[in-house]
Structures are given as structure tokens and as C-alpha cells.
């Protein structure tokens, strides 16, 4: 009988120790996140009246962008990275009374990036093309930005490695996307897949695949941040 009481006491003590260790770790994690200096902006493209591309399966780009952006935020925050989102719900970044919602929306996004002063911004989008067979994730950067190019190449490599080793696309320069041109810190656009390709469109609406995309983008972001830190030493 005495032996049984001893065993029960030991189990209770062990469970208690586990609980406090976990709570302690969580408190440290939270305080690190609050004081974390590394900030990344995650931009979920489109929103509100602007659905973005419409998939062959009727999927709306704005919804897929937001889901992937939110998953990406969660992953990065677990790594103590401060994340600023340009939007966290369906609404676009404009007033309903605005005479040009698209322009106001884009300006607001640039404003959020300027205020956040991030190490870089990752804008999440989905692609579309008249030819149905075209597919595969691709990352775009502002041609004038060497840092943007490096970031885009690292993210492209991570997407190929973690999402689709058959994807032979390469990071590509773009001189006309508003967000790439107007932000003063490096910005890249991740086109996670083609909504015009039935197979890819069907995968992009699934939570598991969205999580996989977010994991791949996060792996690229973490690699960039780590190599950035190393180069500073
Ligand atoms: Zn888009």
C-alpha cells in the first residue's frame, strides 16, 4: 500500500514539473516575441471587392492568399519573428467611399510596410495563365534590388525543394508591380501556384496543401534571416 502511494506521489510530482516547465517556456517565448527585433511583413494580396484571380474551380485568389499568409504568420511567430500583416480578414485596405479603391488599397499596403520597417516583405499571390498546363510556384523581385533578388532566389529554392521538385521555374525580375517598386525595404511576390491549372487549383484550396506552401515559404524566410545574421558577424 505504502509503495503504491509513493508511485502515485512520484507521478503527480512529475506531471507538475512538466506543466511548470511548459508554462515557463511559453512565458519566455512570449516575452521574446514581444521584444523581437526581426520583423517581416506578410502581405495577403487582394481582398474585399477585389477577388484577384478566379480559379478554374471557382476558387478566389484573395481567400487562398489570406489562408496561406495566416499559416505563414503562425510558423514565423513560433520562431520568435515579429510578423506584421497587411490584412487579417477579407476586407480590402480602402474606404467604401473611395473613388479609386485599388490605388488606395495599394498605397495603404506600402504605408504599412514603411511603418513596420521590416527586414523584408513577402507578398502572397496566386497566378493564372491562358494555357491550362502551365503550373508551379514562382517568386518575383524588383529588378533593381540585389537583396530582393537574393531573397527571391532563396524562396524559389525552398518552394522547389519542399513543394515540388519537378518545378523548374526560377525567380524572376519584375519592374512594374506597384508593391515591388514602392517599398523601400526588399519585397518579393510569391505566386504559390496557378489557379488556371485544375490540379494545382484543387490543391491550393486544401488546408493541408496551404500549410505545406506556408512551411516551404517559411523555410526560405528562415534561411534568409539566418544567412543575413551570419553576414553581419
Ligand atoms: Zn494576385
CA 225 to centroid of ligand 1, rounded, Å: 25
Cell numbers that stand for 51 in this block = 477577388
List pLDDT tens digits, range 102-111: 999 999 999 9
What is the mean pLDDT of the segment spanning 40-47?
Answer: 98
Which is nearest to 118 in space by CA: 190, 30, 31, 225?
225
Distance CA 145, CA 91 (A): 30
Distance CA 52, CA 36 (A): 33
179, 123 Cβ separation under 8 angstroms = yes
Parse the chain into domains and list their residue ranges: 1-35, 38-232
CA 224 to centroid of ligand 1, rounded, Å: 24
User: Residues with beta carbon < 5 A to ion ligand 1?
Assistant: 45, 52, 125
- pTM of the complete model: 0.83
Question: Strands (DSSP E) along 48-97, which ranges?
Answer: 82-85
pLDDT surpassing 60 at residue 35: no
% the chain with pLDDT above 70: 82
- Please name the CATH architecture into which domain 38-232 falls: 3-Layer(aba) Sandwich (3.40)
CA 163 to centroid of ligand 1, rounded, Å: 20
Which is nearest to 74 in space by CA: 63, 61, 85?
85
Q: Which of 113-127, 142-156, 188-202, 218-232 has the lowest mean pLDDT?
A: 218-232
pLDDT at 172: 98
Distance CA 209, CA 124 (A): 15
Q: Give the single-character DSSP code of 94.
A: S
CA 125 to centroid of ligand 1, rounded, Å: 4
Q: Give the single-character DSSP code of 84.
A: E
Instruction: Count CB neighbours of 94 within 10 A.
Output: 21
What is the mean pLDDT of the segment spanning 143-161?
Answer: 97
CA 7 to centroid of ligand 1, rounded, Å: 60
Map grid coordinates 518579393 to a residue.
188
The CA-based angle 214-219-225, given to 5 degrees, is: 120
Cell numbers that stand for 75 in this block = 510558423
CA 2 to centroid of ligand 1, rounded, Å: 69
Map grid coordinates 524588383 to a residue.
142
Amino acid at each position: 500500500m505504502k509503495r503504491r502511494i509513493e508511485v502515485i506521489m512520484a507521478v503527480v510530482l512529475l506531471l507538475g514539473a512538466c506543466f511548470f516547465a511548459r508554462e515557463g517556456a511559453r512565458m519566455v517565448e512570449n516575452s521574446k516575441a514581444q521584444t523581437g527585433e526581426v520583423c517581416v511583413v506578410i502581405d495577403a494580396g487582394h481582398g474585399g471587392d477585389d477577388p484577384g484571380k478566379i480559379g478554374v474551380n471557382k476558387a478566389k485568389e484573395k481567400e487562398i492568399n489570406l489562408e496561406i499568409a495566416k499559416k505563414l504568420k503562425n510558423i514565423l511567430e513560433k520562431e520568435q519573428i515579429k510578423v506584421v500583416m497587411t490584412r487579417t480578414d477579407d476586407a480590402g485596405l480602402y474606404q467604401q467611399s473611395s473613388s479609386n479603391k485599388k490605388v488606395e488599397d495599394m498605397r495603404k499596403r506600402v504605408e504599412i510596410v514603411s511603418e513596420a520597417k521590416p527586414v523584408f516583405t513577402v507578398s502572397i499571390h496566386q497566378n493564372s495563365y491562358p494555357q491550362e498546363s502551365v503550373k508551379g510556384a514562382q517568386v518575383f523581385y524588383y529588378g533593381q534590388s540585389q537583396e530582393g533578388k537574393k531573397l527571391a532566389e532563396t524562396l524559389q529554392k525552398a518552394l522547389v525543394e519542399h513543394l515540388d521538385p519537378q518545378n523548374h521555374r526560377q525567380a524572376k525580375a519584375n519592374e512594374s508591380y506597384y508593391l515591388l517598386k514602392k517599398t523601400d525595404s526588399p519585397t518579393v511576390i510569391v505566386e504559390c501556384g496557378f489557379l488556371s491549372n485544375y490540379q494545382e487549383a484543387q490543391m491550393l484550396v486544401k488546408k493541408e496543401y496551404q500549410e505545406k506552401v506556408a512551411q516551404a515559404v517559411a523555410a526560405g524566410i528562415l534561411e534568409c534571416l539566418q544567412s543575413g545574421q551570419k553576414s553581419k558577424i
